[in-house]
Amino acid sequence: MSYDFDLFVIGAGSGGIATARRAAEYGAKVGIVEFDRLGGTCVNRGCVPKKLMVYASHFPEAFQAASGYGWTVGESQFDWKTMITAVNNEVDRLNGIYQKMLDKSEVKVYEGHGTFIDSHTIAIGEEKVTAEKILIAVGGKPVKPDSIPGIEHAITSREIFHVQEQPKHIVILGGGYIGAEFACILKGLGSDVTQIIRADKILRGFDEDIRSEIQSQMQDHGINVLNNVQDMAITKTDAGLEIKVTREEGEETIVADSISLAATGRKPRLENLGLENTGVEVVNGAVAVDKYSQTAEEHIYAVGDCTDRINLTPVAIQEGRAFADTHFGGKSQQMAYDNIPTAIFTTPEASTVGLTEAEAREKYGDAVKIYRSKFRPMYYTLPNMQVKTLMKLIVDGNTDKIVGAHMVGDSAAEIIQGVAIAVKMGATKADFDATVGIHPSSAEEFVTMR
């Protein structure tokens, strides 16, 4: 049978675009459809604009530190509209770059919703296209829990980038990395921040030392963390949003601006896909795939957040390129999910690769060795600022291999990226010890811990 395309991609986020371009490089005829903006969540309403806001939030601390080095810094003012406009202008610029990249790769771009008519046919409005292979890369979306009365008054991480007035007091619901990051961003920019979490600590799933250190420093910076919340309700009043929470200590009411940020999780964006017209299986709300990203329909594949495996932009890109290399490049590739580094752009920043201490102890038992260091970086000594860095190595004592590396502190992501290469290659503690440190630097602590 003759098809319109060798590969058709549904979703032009990071994973979908990477796959389309890689397949086209191998000579495949490729089409891609997107109903929203090119680049997906990361570029438009996620990691890129968020990181720009993180940079903006760090200037007050830099102004404070400058005085310790002899600089006189005058009165500073922050203009929210200037920042938001600049951030969104950069997003617009990146959208244009993605369009040019797809055009250069000769990938045909369709605007609209791609919906399966059958397992080889996609409808985009009134138009229909066919493809030999189809890749689902539709990503995910934030969700607001229906169990919270009044949750319709809250915005999500999608809308925060278009808020035109800076919140005076914002309440953030959720203790995941998105909630924690925006709590730090808004506090750094001058807003009062209350973060409401159901657990004892933020960042469930990360190493316990990382969780404790970040939460402690966030509270030291003035963020009000209300933990162990059993119930909550939101009411819109003339004074703003009234959030009533119930804890063991009793009830407490917080009144915030008309903005409350729900950062309570994400789920795959599978609506309007027409998956019921295919043999693709959906399990726990996500597209079910095997280790090669193949669905139950042998010629349909899926990558990225819609599969709900490891929901990180670089993972989606790597999954997509592995698929393209295998099916169009003649190089059989399989995505490896061990030792994937990640970062949390809170203040302080954190980054991690490998196992947490709890995971390591479950896997290796009493053979686990922990190396930990906490110190004040040199940068903060002259301004006498009590900012700490935490570093931690987890070692399998049976083999001396580093099985986990964790850091809280300035440039954690930049430092752990290099450490991740060593962990991925199976470096031992002896290898770290034999490495000469760069002095004076925080990073050298990873090769001097005893």
Nearest Cα residue to 323 out of 300, 339, 297, 296: 300
- Neighbouring-strand partners of residue 408: 350, 390
Residue 366 burial by Cβ neighbours in a 10 Å radius (0-12, 13-18, 19+): exposed
Nearest Cα residue to 241 out of 224, 227, 254: 254
Nearest Cα residue to 370 out of 388, 389, 396, 351: 396
Is 439 among the catalytic positions?
yes
Report, in angstroms and rounded to the nearest whole number, the Rg of the chain calculated over CA atoms. Answer: 24
| CB proximity list for 12: less than 8 A, separation 6 or greater | 20, 32, 33, 34, 38, 39, 40, 98, 102, 109, 137
Contact 90, 163 (CB under 8 A): no
Contact 108, 28 (CB under 8 A): no
How far is the C-alpha of 203 from the C-alpha of 211, rounded, in Å?
6
Taking the CA atoms of 290, 129, 19 and 89 in sequence, report the sign of the dihedral they define: negative
**30-34/108-111 β-pairing:** parallel
How far is the C-alpha of 322 from the C-alpha of 300, rounded, in Å?
15
- Neighbouring-strand partners of residue 302: 136
Contact 115, 136 (CB under 8 A): no
Strand stretches in 260-367, DSSP E: 260-262, 266-268, 282-283, 286-287, 300-302, 342-344, 350-354
How far is the C-alpha of 133 from the C-alpha of 20, rounded, in Å?
12
Contact 153, 256 (CB under 8 A): no
SS3 state of residue 302: strand
Tokens 């954190």 — which residue? 350
SS3 state of residue 129: strand
How far is the C-alpha of 153 from the C-alpha of 242, rounded, in Å?
10
Tokens 């919270």 — which residue? 148
Which of 162, 221, 299, 439 is catalytic? The answer is: 439
Q: Note the Cα 102 to chain centre separation in Å.
A: 24
- Neighbouring-strand partners of residue 253: 244
Taking the CA atoms of 295, 299, 304 and 306 in sequence, report the sign of the dihedral they define: negative
Catalytic (active-site) positions = 439
